[in-house]
Amino acid sequence: MTPHPPETLLPAELSAKITAFVIRLRVRHGFLVGPGEAGDALRAAGVVDVLSKRQLRDALRAVLIACPEQARIFDHEFNTFFRAEGSPAPPELPPLLPETEAPGAEQDTETTPKKQQEGEGQAPAPAAPQPGEQPELTPVQAQPQSESKDDPDDSGGDVQTIQTRLSPNAGAGGEVRAEEGELRELLRAATALIRAVELGRSRRLRPLVRGPKLDARRTLRAAARTAGDPALLRWLGRQRRSPRFLLVLDGSRSMGRDAALLLRFAQALSLRTRRVEVYAFSTGLRRLTPYLRQALPGQALTLPDLGEAWGGGTRIGENLLHLTRHERERVNRDTLVLILSDGLDTGEPEVLERALRDLKARAGRVVWLSPLAALPGYQPVQRAIRAALPHIDALLPAGDIDDLHRLGRRIGQRN
């Protein structure tokens, strides 16, 4: 065994502090860290120079985070927890699961086209937070830890002060409730959709009764029982490929209750397959996949404050472009991209076109679901929809659960 660094015995006070830090990450931010990770954190601290704050932070980060999205939370909490005596505490991060209300849950649904192209989404001037009011976090892209900061160890840390302001586009707060009966219907719709998507055969070979390829291993096994004569042939074949889904959900004000329905449909799809990625956008973009995975079926679906990704204006093109640029690895020929939006956009159609051209080139299929398309006499006259039509495989209605039930069949007909 390779010799490894000797572990230093940590002072009891530091051990207790590291353990408390691990518990805080788990309880307050939902990190999947238990006693095993706490033990690893203590051992990691024993390997590095604990007098160097940066080394301690790097070591604990390597042990306690599991994705880049957690890095920002970790850094903030570390700097709060291990700050020098007497230095002011940075602003508190909100806990993992406060509640965000679906747009329209408490307001009238806006299904008639609003000021279709101009003015919608112009954010009002940010209001100053009231005294004692908790300001909301500005949504930021996950900032993986950078190694470029020249932060001296004893400077009190490179406190990544979280910019706070009152988002003009945030939802009103509250709960998205999914009724159990409705969830059952949505699960049925999700199952139908998964079954309907035909992507051909996977590359993995599996034992089959009849197949195109001889299974040498199992044939030889059988031959050993017939004196080396391969009399009983065994076969391999390729199974049907499972689709991946990328759902991009418009959470802007104009979507109203439709956004809540489609969000619950996204949750149902997440319950049916792990190969789902869900993003919400309004004027900003936010990945929802982890929250939907954590949500328990049959219970109210609660989301954190999604800030600019929910309940504000609509910037479809910019957000889709951001998605195709920064998450392009998540889109491949197995991916069915579902854009769930009414298409009432304030952005430039050229940007949307470029984003959709990119998506179409990489994805297996791009389908646009519009609640407006379910209205009688609907015509795709919105600028965004007109720009999108040449670059999507289908524009389908998504006004209610019945539309979602028919979604699988409609997509299947286009296979």
Q: Which residues are at the interface with another protein (CB under 8 A)? A: 1-7, 32, 36-37, 40, 43-44, 47-48, 54-55, 58-59, 61-63, 65-68, 71, 144-148, 202-205, 216-217, 220, 223-224, 227-230, 244, 274-275, 277, 289, 321, 324-325, 327-330, 332, 358
Nearer to another protein, 14 or 205 (CB): 205
What is the token pair recorded at 364? 């297996």
- Paired strand residues for 245: 276, 336
Helices 256-272 and 401-413 pack at an angle, to 10 degrees, of 60
Question: What's the closest the beta carbon of residue 64 comes to another protein, in angstroms?
Answer: 8
Are 32 and 66 in contact by the 8 Å Cβ rule? The answer is yes
Nearer to another protein, 116 or 273 (CB): 273
What is the token pair recorded at 255? 């979507």
Question: What's the closest the beta carbon of residue 135 comes to another protein, in angstroms?
Answer: 28
Are 123 and 169 in contact by the 8 Å Cβ rule? The answer is yes
344: exposed, middle or buried (C-beta count within 10 Å: 0-12, 13-18, 19+)? buried
Question: What's the closest the beta carbon of residue 238 comes to another protein, in angstroms?
Answer: 8
Question: What's the closest the beta carbon of residue 222 comes to another protein, in angstroms?
Answer: 12
Question: What's the closest the beta carbon of residue 118 comes to another protein, in angstroms?
Answer: 24
Nearer to another protein, 18 or 260 (CB): 18
- Distance, in Å, from the CA atom of 377 to the CA atom of 357, rounded to the nearest integer, reads 28
Question: What's the closest the beta carbon of residue 213 comes to another protein, in angstroms?
Answer: 12
- Distance, in Å, from the CA atom of 142 to the CA atom of 73, rounded to the nearest integer, reads 9
Nearer to another protein, 203 or 413 (CB): 203
Q: Which amino acid is at 266?
A: A
Nearer to another protein, 37 or 250 (CB): 37
331: exposed, middle or buried (C-beta count within 10 Å: 0-12, 13-18, 19+)? buried
Nearer to another protein, 55 or 109 (CB): 55
